[in-house]
Amino acid sequence: MDNRKVFIIGLGLIGGSIALAIKQEHQNCQVYGYDINQNQLKVAKSLRVIDEVADTIETGVKDADLIIVATPVSKTEELILELVNYDLKPSAIITDVGSTKEKIVNKAKLFAEKDVTFIGGHPMAGSHKTGVEAAKSHLFENAFYILTPASETEMNKIIHLQNWLKGTKAKFIEMSPEQHDKLAGVISHFPHLIAASLVHQVSKLEKEEPMLLQLAAGGFRDITRIASASPVMWRDILVHNKQTVLSLLTNWQTEMERVKGIIETADEKDIYQYFETAKKFRDGLPTRQKGAIPSFYDLFVDVPDHPGVISDVTGILAKEGISITNIRILETREDIMGVLRLSLRSDQDRDRALACLTNNLYEAYISS
Ligand SMILES: NC(=O)c1ccc[n+]([C@@H]2O[C@H](COP(=O)([O-])OP(=O)(O)OC[C@H]3O[C@@H](n4cnc5c(N)ncnc54)[C@H](O)[C@@H]3O)[C@@H](O)[C@H]2O)c1
Ligand SMILES: O=C(O)C(=O)C[C@]1(C(=O)O)C=C[C@@H](O)C=C1
């Protein structure tokens, strides 16, 4: 794979993270990047996420062995229409990272006329953050990476793509685009809609009760973190997976009517049962920790999956005489530590902690 050319279109969180993972594994390959946002391109180059900037998509695809489209899903569909018009290297592999698959894979059938292979892809990990600054080579470590090859796709092309993406350390699985969209609708797209709707509910009530926001602590923050993600990305996902989301919404409305009924009748047994069944199912999900005390002075720190990282963070704060009242690991997915939530005693302590952790090269931020 060395001395080969990789071209990535869209250098945000996901495109940037994939670029870093590829560079780590295939050190002699050349990674070219293109983005409509010039600033993202400049940052990507200066952070060495890419080796070279491609001035246009047409020059970027020239001689590229691997092309990765990492833009919002509606743009990805448009870009496929554009890519088929260009002079692509024979035997090149083209993939995408979009959160929906059916529409993209259908559009990509246009590549059949060319001597290239398109394999749809979706790394099932991410963040509410956007942009190349948030990109990390370890973002997909241990996460599932879904591939949706066509039935006629040659096995060696799938293996080839997995080799390219080996540095992600993700677990590859294959399924049809239809199954992908159904499953992703249930565990990702619909929950996102609910998170956003909870925020809307609080935002409406906040006009009458200004204290609400200050009181919105652990629970509300946990369940709505994803509502801080890119509205462009999520608009596109919902447009693409409209039927799945609409059908889940209908089920949800029926379920809420049922819940309304058991609350109205104040049937303690039914209410208990409702929570107990949910708890049992939720507890069955691997590796989640509970028990944080909500705090108004929270600081969030991105941490890689290294032994000793928590003691390093707490040690840095101890040296500065900053007390932590609570510490909690917020996983963004299974098997990997993602974000540390530190609760501090005061605003001043939080500002000091932010400064000293940043000085020690940790990525720390105040709002999650
Ligand atoms: N964020 C997540 O958690 C996550 C996880 C898995 C997959 N995805 C998918 O990855 C894709 C990218 O998401 P992201 O989180 O990296 O978003 P992002 O906003 O961080 O990055 C998207 C980038 O695409 C660029 N872009 C938009 N239109 C373009 C065009 N026409 N040509 C070139 N560049 C263009 C933007 O300028 C931006 O830099 C989306 O399809 C999303 O569904 C996201
Ligand atoms: O952790 C988050 O912030 C995410 O929302 C990641 C998440 C998800 O729903 O799990 C979001 C969309 C992607 O397609 C894949 C992963």
| DSSP structural state of residue 88 | P
Give the pLDDT confidence of 347-367 residue by residue, as tens digits: 888 999 999 999 998 888 886
Nearest residue by C-alpha to atom 9 in ligand 1: 98
Residue pair 153/129 in contact (Cβ under 8 Å)? The answer is: no
- Count of alpha carbons within 13 Å of 193, Cβ hemisphere only? 19
Note the pLDDT of residue 51: 98
Note the pLDDT of residue 324: 87
Note the pLDDT of residue 147: 98
Q: Look at residue 291 and tell me whether its pLDDT is greater than 50.
A: no
Query: Which-ligand-closest: CA of 79?
Result: 1
- 130 CB less than 6 Å from ligand 2? no
Give the residue extent of every domain in the chain: 5-176, 180-283, 298-365
Distance 327 CA to ligand 1 centre (A): 32
Q: Look at residue 183 and tell me whether its pLDDT is greater than 90.
A: yes
How far is the C-alpha of 276 from the C-alpha of 111, rounded, in Å? Answer: 50
Local confidence band at 295 (pLDDT 50, 70, 90 cut-offs): very low
Closest CA to 20 of 109, 141, 195: 141
Local confidence band at 219 (pLDDT 50, 70, 90 cut-offs): confident
Q: Look at residue 289 and tell me whether its pLDDT is greater than 60.
A: no
Residue pair 180/144 in contact (Cβ under 8 Å)? The answer is: no
How far is the C-alpha of 66 from the C-alpha of 117, rounded, in Å? Answer: 10
Q: Which atom of ligand 2 is nearest to the CA of 332?
A: 1
- 40 CB less than 6 Å from ligand 2? no
Token digits for 147?
């591939």
The CATH number of 5-176 is 3.40.50.720
Q: Which of 97, 124, 129 to mutate to test the pocket of ligand 2 (most atoms within 8 A of CB)?
A: 124
Local confidence band at 1 (pLDDT 50, 70, 90 cut-offs): low
Q: Look at residue 170 and tell me whether its pLDDT is greater than 70.
A: yes
The whole-number average pLDDT for the span 177-188 is: 98
Q: Look at residue 314 and tell me whether its pLDDT is greater than 70.
A: yes
Residue pair 4/25 in contact (Cβ under 8 Å)? The answer is: no
Note the pLDDT of residue 161: 97
Q: Name 172's bridge partners.
A: 145
Distance 137 CA to ligand 2 centre (A): 16
- 121 CB less than 6 Å from ligand 2? no
Give the pLDDT confidence of 49-65 residue by residue, as tens digits: 999 999 999 999 999 99
Residue pair 264/297 in contact (Cβ under 8 Å)? The answer is: no
| Three-class secondary structure assignment of 26-74 | CCCCEEEEECCCHHHHHHHHHCCCCCEECCCHHHHHCCCCEEEECCCHH
- 129 CB less than 6 Å from ligand 2? no
231-240 vs 242-264: helix crossing angle, rounded to 10: 100
Instruction: List the Cα angle 111/112/115 in 5-degree steps.
Output: 80
Query: Which-ligand-closest: CA of 60?
Result: 1
Q: How many CB atoms lie within 10 A of CB 348?
A: 11
Residue pair 7/54 in contact (Cβ under 8 Å)? The answer is: yes
Give the pLDDT confidence of 315-330 residue by residue, as tens digits: 999 999 998 878 887 7
Distance 89 CA to ligand 2 centre (A): 33
Nearest residue by C-alpha to atom 39 in ligand 1: 12
| Superfamily in which the 298-365 domain is placed by CATH | VC0802-like (3.30.2130.10)
Query: Which-ligand-closest: CA of 124?
Result: 2
Q: Look at residue 286 and tell me whether its pLDDT is greater than 80.
A: no
Tell me the pLDDT of the chain averaged across its residues. 91
Q: Look at residue 18 and tell me whether its pLDDT is greater than 60.
A: yes
Note the pLDDT of residue 292: 29
Q: Look at residue 269 and tell me whether its pLDDT is greater than 90.
A: yes
Distance 77 CA to ligand 2 centre (A): 20
CATH architecture of the domain formed by 180-283: Orthogonal Bundle (1.10)
